[in-house]
Amino acid sequence: MHMGANGLSNFSLQTMMNQMARGENLAFSKPSSLSHEKNLTELDAFIILDDLLASLNKQYLDAKSHRLELSKAYGADDGMTQLAVDMEDSAWCAMQTCFMELRAQNDMRRRANDMRVRHERQIEELKQRRVEKSKLKRAQDFIYYTQVMEMVKEKNRVPQIFELIILFSIFRLDIFGRSPYEMQKQKQVFAA
């Protein structure tokens, strides 16, 4: 693939078909690391496990990107865009055929499912560590707050209402003992 004068990637259907016929793996890249924020789909797991499926997935994504570029530049009715649509469909079908063949293999399906389960456990462990870290931070804030209150009592001062408000705002505590930052994080966790 190379960039043309108009900045769009120039695909050669013939070149791609020749490389596939010779059994050459076209350039692809597997995901370097799994996202710790989203669950792994079955397709994602198979892509990580199988080089051919990873290559076909890359070809499909490239064909889709190329089609979108052409459609944006020349419109959906342009001849080159229509050819790019056909290439995208062909790449999708090739990827799906490989995916179905892999799913039919019990060993590969078991390995993919094991990978998905391990990844889901890692996500849950990460969420649990975040909750524990948040609880620890709240406990540390509370201890510090009580120490400040003890220092005030030792000086035989009765804190005025505005002093309490200032203390609450300094430590970002609400009446229920949560900081606004923690409440925002909780909303994000529940939204995900």
- Listed by start position, the domains of the chain span 2-104, 131-191
Separation of alpha carbons 134 and 187, rounded Å:
13
Phi, psi of 118 (to 5 degrees): -60, -40
Predicted TM-score of the model (pTM): 0.54
CA distances from 139 to 17, 143, 144, 163, 177 (A): 62, 6, 9, 22, 10
pLDDT band at 10, cuts 50/70/90?
very low
**3-state SS, residue 101:** helix
| DSSP class of 34 | -
pLDDT band at 161, cuts 50/70/90?
low
- Give pLDDT, residue 12: 53
Tens digits of per-residue pLDDT, 24-60? 544 444 444 445 567 889 999 999 999 999 999 999 9
- Give pLDDT, residue 188: 66
